[in-house]
Structure 1
């Protein structure tokens, strides 16, 4: 088993040397299309952040001091643990499917399917926020986007055009993310430097005057700093994932923190505080007041471009998650079929369709619903991480969080407590929606199981066939064989 795992886990050169010229050429071509480090950094960056667009409500909810502290402290208690879990498990199971495979390896196919359902639905809901956010920025410049048919058509065209871009290839999406990231971040760096002569540090220490909106505050922090594990669903498309993933997560984390803190320091430190103004899109207005209208328009453009990157990254992870679930036998094999561009066209179609249906909800509702369902999945993900460490300590982990079970329990305790806290902030509508989605997922699992058992639909012969796996390494090998 050790020799097999080495061959499967990291032996690109060994595999190529044992093939004939035809397969060797095909493997070389496939490898050349794999995601490299820089595109993966920006894909993760757009999975999580995409820039400071959308951080403004934290100031409205809690004032400058708590907003700044939130974006400084929250990465340590939430983002870093989530990124460490992702780094360890994505390198131990470097294939498509990500957290679905982790939950399956830990607790079996039912929990793997439910994990995939929760995360896919939350991702689709989350992705529905980006057309809304884009149009919200555009309406500052063009009043026609405030509502009516113009707004509806804009959301429709946005979704269709970007879904087609996603269809044309993951490598294109990755390098598009690099370009969009650099263009959208640049004006905020300029905003900070232009703000330096006007900064008054005393403004950063202002406590909230009036009511605190804790629900808005924590949901804004959570929404802006989660989804570190999303890129794991396309690990099979990454060049040398055991080495590339940890490095990409580290770089994306630094980029994300700087991208949030600099404009927040500039906007709150250089201008008199009016909490009511700090709504989605206000950073552009603040930049205009600090440096002039030219920077305001650049940030408006950057906001639109950022939503493109956010949409593309989220759609890629959602579609490759469905492909990965099909490859291991949890969804019909048709979902694993790829287009001529090597992309999961059915996964893109289903994910984009769900996004379009939900794009007409309010932005706040979208965030709350996505956070709750994502929290359900993250609780299962942390449990899977801890259980795999305890049950399979000898599993090959190219990157390993450098601590034992007691340390891991401490590392996971704070984010788990925060997840539960965020879930208690949801209103009754979110609870009803989440329970309904969960019930639908359970019914979906048994429907898939029945279809497979009675041969109504074709399923891949993958690791999803077995109800009870006693060896996580065989899960790992089965996944890699299915790629």
Structure 2
């Protein structure tokens, strides 16, 4: 054996020694063995099928037309409809196709982290996971708050009517109950989401059926209001780097940010790739149906609401869909819609919490995080990853997140761009990786398909406020710092294991010499 082979063997032994250190366990919890691949040391009783994964993805991205009011207020009827018809073909479709191909090729809970790591190495893999998780976990804090807001709206009250401590207890209780439900397993989350989907989308189905007879198609082509655009530009906060933020009577920053927010996050489904039955078949089907559900879930209610109402552009504030429902069908439908909006936040919370927790688990399995985050419960769910996500949600649930959402949106855009570029690079550098599902286009065709997607995402980032850009710089700097600290820790541990092995070899050699001398074998 030559020196190079011997050095390689020692390196692998050192890595194995590091990865096999004792890890904390809970009764009923399991952690993957060192060196294991995608197989877990327990058997999942039930895996996600096409329907369950479709609904979970739908709620990971959309959850219905709740929250589209800002788009109408920023751009008017015509450009709102145009945006929700065109942009799914630029953002949603491409993200879903990328996720289907790479998730089937890399069925790991780390999701996009695995793709970027394979394409660009550990540092970029870490940054992708870090930015995606920070954005998702912090965003998830708003759903318990919105749920309580809708419940209070039904009762005629407001969350301002209850004290801060009481509010904190309510938010904490809701978060803990939902986290426990999540801990019981993805099949439970899937079935719960299906039930909520039927209840939450039913008032919009009724709205479309009843309102279809009241639609005046000429209202769909109403141009944006210049005065409202100016007011929206003032309301949207801080200055941008570019002067075209309100060009053409459209407030482009809130308009594009709202479209982006409502049409993206299909990549979160990649965190469940190892939990589905036959990923090569299930993933593309579920993602395809979810794109259709997301697009139609916006377009059809908007066609009816904008065509059947004389509402001004400035009237479209948060929750205005309930006013439209009352105009079209009566107060009973408005109350039902508010209730549906409230429980829809439960499914949004569950989908986001699941994907964030599984991503943390995948990052721990890859060595980015302490192995404790890879511990699974007997239900197959990552116990400590769920706990950390829930704690952050509870801590931030009493915080004003309005400005923070745009900032987190910016960071998510960065991680998404990493994934798009990684997809294209892997098509070139690793063409022979087994892909159970592959987009039926050549590499050149994929470049053409994804170029508008990347450009549109960059435009959203270009319109960000200076405050958002500064915030993102701090968050990214912290991410690189955390990776460097972790990298140094691993290097020191690796060096320590190497030193211990060298000492053991010296001791063994000394014992061998002493034994040989005593038996007279030397000389």
The bucket for the TM-score relative to the shorter chain is: 0.7 to 0.9
Structure 2: how far apart are the matches of 1:334 and 1:27? 15
Distance 1:154 1:279 in 2: 26
In the other structure, the counterpart of 1:172 is 188
Q: Per-residue CA shift, 1:59-110, capped at 9, x if unaligned?
A: 1111111111111100001111111111110111112111000011111111
* CA distance, structure 2, for counterparts of residue 152 and residue 123 of structure 1: 21
Residue in 1 aligned with 2:396? 358
What are the within-5 Å matches in structure 2 for residues 191-206 of structure 1? Answer: 191-206=207-222
1:157 corresponds to which of 139, 148, 173: 173
Deviation at 1:152, TM superposition (A): 4.3
Give SS of 1:454's match. Answer: helix
Cα distance in 2 between the residues matched to 1:219 and 1:345: 34
Count of residue pairs the alignment pairs up: 433
Shift of 1:384: 0.5
Indicate conservation of the 8 Å contact 1:165/1:173, yes or no: yes
Write the mapping of 1:89-108 to structure 2, written as runs, cut at 5 A: 89-108=102-121
Partner SS state of residue 230, structure 1: helix
Distance 2:160 2:299 in 1: 29
2:497 aligned partner? none
Are residues 1:143 and 2:157 paired?
Answer: yes
Higher mean displacement: 80-89 or 342-351: 342-351
Larger radius of gyration between Structure 1 and Structure 2: 2
Paired residues for 1:328-477 under 5 Å: 328-455=366-493
What is residue 343 of structure 2 aligned with on the other side? 305
- Using the size of structure 1 for normalisation, the TM-score is 0.85
The C-alpha deviation readout for 1:311-341, integer Å capped at 9, x for no partner, is 1000000000010111122211111001233
Alpha-carbon spacing, 1:65–1:93, altered in 2? closer, same or farther (3 Å)? same
Aligned-pair CA distance for 1:156: 3.0
Aligned-residue offset at 1:151:
4.5
Compared CA separation, residues 376 and 236, structure 1 to 2 (3 A): same
Gaps of 5+ in 1: 1-25, 457-483
Alpha-carbon shift at residue 53 of structure 1 (Å): 0.6
For 1:478, the equivalent position in structure 2 comes to none
- The DSSP-based 3-state class of the residue aligned with 1:385 is helix
Look up the match of 1:125. Answer: 138
Q: CA RMSD in A?
A: 2.1
TM-score, scaled relative to structure 2: 0.79
**Which residue of the partner structure matches residue 247 of structure 1?**
285
Q: Is the 8 A contact 1:31 1:239 kept in 2?
A: no
Q: Unaligned stretches of 5+ in structure 2?
A: 1-38, 230-249, 495-523
The answer as to whether partners of 1:50 and 1:310 remain within 8 angstroms in 2 is yes
| 1:139–1:432 CA distance, 2 compared to 1 (3 A) | farther
Greater shift, 293-302 or 71-80, is seen at 293-302
1:200-222 CA distance string (max 9 Å, x none): 11111111112132211111111
Could you tell me whether the CA contact under 8 Å between 2:168 and 2:397 is conserved in 1? no
| Aligned-residue offset at 1:387 | 0.6
The alpha carbon displacement at 1:235 in A equals: 1.1
Q: CA deviation at 1:29?
A: 8.1
Distance 2:169 2:149 in 1: 14
Q: Which residue of 1 aligns with 2:21?
A: none
Q: Partners in 1 of 2:75 and 2:399 — Cα distance?
A: 25
DSSP 3-state at the match of 2:91: helix
Please give the secondary structure, in 2, of the residue aligned with 1:295: helix
**Aligned equivalents of 1:226, 1:157: Cα separation in 2:** 29
